[in-house]
């Protein structure tokens, strides 16, 4: 059995969804019953991280020649005076406040009130004064600066 897995990521936590495409279908493919008429290609099946977590993905049977595409997840960065600066996966709507919480919160030296969002807009990097209720977008960098003493 041959199954092609493309764009494999180093860590599963960075997987947004899997796209399963069957190579067994489409113009020229033979139906399972041996009939030599062409069969209609089924739509690719999208498997989300929730499907993987709750076991629904276990119901999908891969066949010889299937292709599994694992695209890169959308991410954002939290940097500066937070406990765990890092790159995080953008799953659903995440506010600046939640993003900072995902990074372990602001350190005692951080100035949450002066937090900035660095974002590419029309090919240019812009810096936006962040509100805690702002929604994080893919590829944003949230920077918590040092507070003044």
Tens digits of per-residue pLDDT, 7-35? 544 443 444 455 555 554 444 444 455 55
Distance, in Å, from the CA atom of 26 to the CA atom of 90, rounded to the nearest integer, reads: 34
CATH number of this structure's domain 75-144, picked from the four choices 1.20.950.20, 3.30.70.100, 2.10.109.10, 3.10.560.10: 3.10.560.10
Q: Is the per-residue pLDDT at 131 higher than 80?
A: yes
Rg (CA), the chain: 22
Residue 90 has pLDDT above 70, yes or no: yes
- Confidence band for 56, pLDDT divided at 50, 70 and 90: confident
Instruction: Give the Cβ contact number of residue 52 at 10 Å.
Output: 15
Domain with CATH 3.10.560.10 in the chain: 75-144
Buried (b) or exposed (e) across 118-138, using 16+ Cβ within 10 A? bbeeeeeeeeeebeeebebee
């Amino acid at each position: 059995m041959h199954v092609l897995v493309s764009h494999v990521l180093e860590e599963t936590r960075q997987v947004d969804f899997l796209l399963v495409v069957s190579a067994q279908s489409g113009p020229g493919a033979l139906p399972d019953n041996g009939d030599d008429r062409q069969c209609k290609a089924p739509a690719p099946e999208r498997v989300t991280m929730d499907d993987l977590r709750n076991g629904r993905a276990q119901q999908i049977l891969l066949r010889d020649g299937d292709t599994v595409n694992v695209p890169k997840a959308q991410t954002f960065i939290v940097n500066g005076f937070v406990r765990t600066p890092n790159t995080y996966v953008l799953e659903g709507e995440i506010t600046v406040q939640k993003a900072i919480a995902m990074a372990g919160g602001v350190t005692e030296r951080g100035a949450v009130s002066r937090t900035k969002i660095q974002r590419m807009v029309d090919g240019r990097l812009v810096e936006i004064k962040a509100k805690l209720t702002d929604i994080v977008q893919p590829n944003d960098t949230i920077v918590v600066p040092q507070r003044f003493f």
